[in-house]
Structure formats: C-alpha cells, structure tokens
C-alpha cells in the first residue's frame, strides 16, 4: 500500500511539474506530454538500472501512465489564471515528487537487501533523476546541481529508510510530509549548501 501510494503521488506531482516547465518554455502539446512523462518516470528508470530491477517494468504501469496523462491534460487545458497559480506552486509539486520518489527508491533498494550506500543512492536518483532530465530537456541548469538544497532531502529520506527508522504506511506518510515540509522551507528561506565559484 505504501509503495503504490507513493508511486501515484510522485508520478502525478512530477508529471504536473514537467508539464508546467514545458509550458513555461513554450513547448507544444506533444512537448508538454513528453517532458511530463520523462519527469514522472525518468528517476524510476535510472533507479532500476542501478539496483538491478528490470527497466521494462515501466510498461507494466498502465494505471500510473494514464494518471500522468490525465494530470498533464488537465494542467494544459486549465484556464490561464489557474495555470499561473499552478506555476507559482511548481516548487510544491516538485517537493512532493522528490519526497515520494526518494522514499520509494529507498524502499526498493532496501527490499533487495542492498547496503546502505545503495539505498541512499537509489533514494537520491529516484528523487532527482526525473527532475534533472526535465531541466536538461528544457534547457535549464538542473536545480540539484546548483547550491540550493534539494538532493539533501532525498538523501535524508534514504538514510532514514535504510536505518529502518520507519515502518508501516503511517510512518512512511509522516516521513513523506516532513521531507516535503523541509524542502519547502529550504525554498522559502533560501537555504543553500556551501559553494565555491571559480
């Protein structure tokens, strides 16, 4: 139940995020759908390659694919003022996708009895992979490569799951909400990692 719930939440949130970025870059309808799908499923594909799960499982996720397409269609055909409001919520949708997929990636690696390092990497790449591909295709500098705190929250989620600090749907949902909250706080207060420009 936890896995399915996080999968649905993350897929819809990242599909909306990708669609909004595509519309900001003035992509056509096909571009909106492609960017949304890449954002929603890119991280999971990268994770599967790294931890040894079949990549073609994406084609078995018909319900998720339909959910993503419906969500993107709604966003694309919304009235202009709703789209403008949704654009202001881009960081929120991004935070939801990051949190849901980071936890899901950590669960996947943990269930395969991988070591802590693999669980953390799976959490980070599942959480940030789709967003990185989205930003690159949109001609933007990926958020995760800038000094803004982003991947740290995925790392934290992976660490908590890897240490078996949570169990059961309720605790996973609490972790999910906490990661979203911390991500939004880092946006609001402009928390940054140390960086050095040359």
pLDDT for 124 beyond 60:
yes
Average pLDDT estimate for 107-131: 94
Q: Is residue 172 part of a domain?
A: yes
Number of structural domains the chain divides into: 1
Q: Is residue 196 part of a domain?
A: no
pLDDT for 146 beyond 80:
no
DSSP for residue 149: S
pLDDT (tens digit per residue) in 173-193? 999 999 999 999 998 898 888
Q: Is residue 194 part of a domain?
A: no
In this prediction, residue 1 carries a pLDDT of: 66
Q: What is the extent of the structural domain holding 49?
A: 2-188
CA–CA gap between residue 45 and residue 184 (Å, rounded): 26
pLDDT for 118 beyond 70:
yes
In this prediction, residue 158 carries a pLDDT of: 97
Q: Is residue 197 part of a domain?
A: no
| Predicted structure pTM score | 0.89
Q: Quick one: which H or E segment has residue 189?
A: none
Of 73, 74, 180, the closest CA to residue 127 belongs to 180
Q: Is residue 160 part of a domain?
A: yes
CA–CA gap between residue 164 and residue 189 (Å, rounded): 30
Place of tokens 């269930």: 111
In this prediction, residue 68 carries a pLDDT of: 95
Q: Is residue 6 part of a domain?
A: yes
């Amino acid at each position: 139940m936890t896995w399915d719930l996080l999968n649905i939440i993350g897929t819809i949130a990242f599909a909306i995020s990708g669609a909004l970025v595509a519309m900001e870059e003035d992509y056509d309808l096909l571009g909106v759908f492609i960017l949304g799908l890449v954002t929603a499923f890119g991280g999971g594909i990268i994770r599967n390659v790294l931890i040894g799960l079949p990549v073609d499982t994406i084609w078995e996720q018909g319900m998720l694919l339909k959910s993503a397409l419906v969500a993107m269609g709604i966003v694309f055909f919304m009235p202009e003022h709703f789209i403008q409001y949704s654009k202001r919520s881009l960081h929120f949708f991004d935070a939801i996708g990051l949190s849901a997929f980071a936890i899901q990636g950590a669960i996947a690696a943990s269930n395969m009895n991988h070591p802590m390092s693999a669980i953390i990497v799976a959490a980070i790449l599942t959480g940030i992979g789709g967003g990185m591909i989205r930003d690159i295709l949109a001609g933007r500098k990926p958020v995760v490569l800038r000094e803004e705190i982003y991947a740290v929250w995925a790392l934290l989620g992976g660490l908590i799951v890897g240490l078996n600090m949570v169990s059961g749907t309720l605790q996973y949902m609490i972790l999910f909400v906490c990661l979203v909250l911390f991500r939004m706080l880092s946006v609001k207060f402009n928390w940054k990692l140390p960086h050095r420009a040359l």
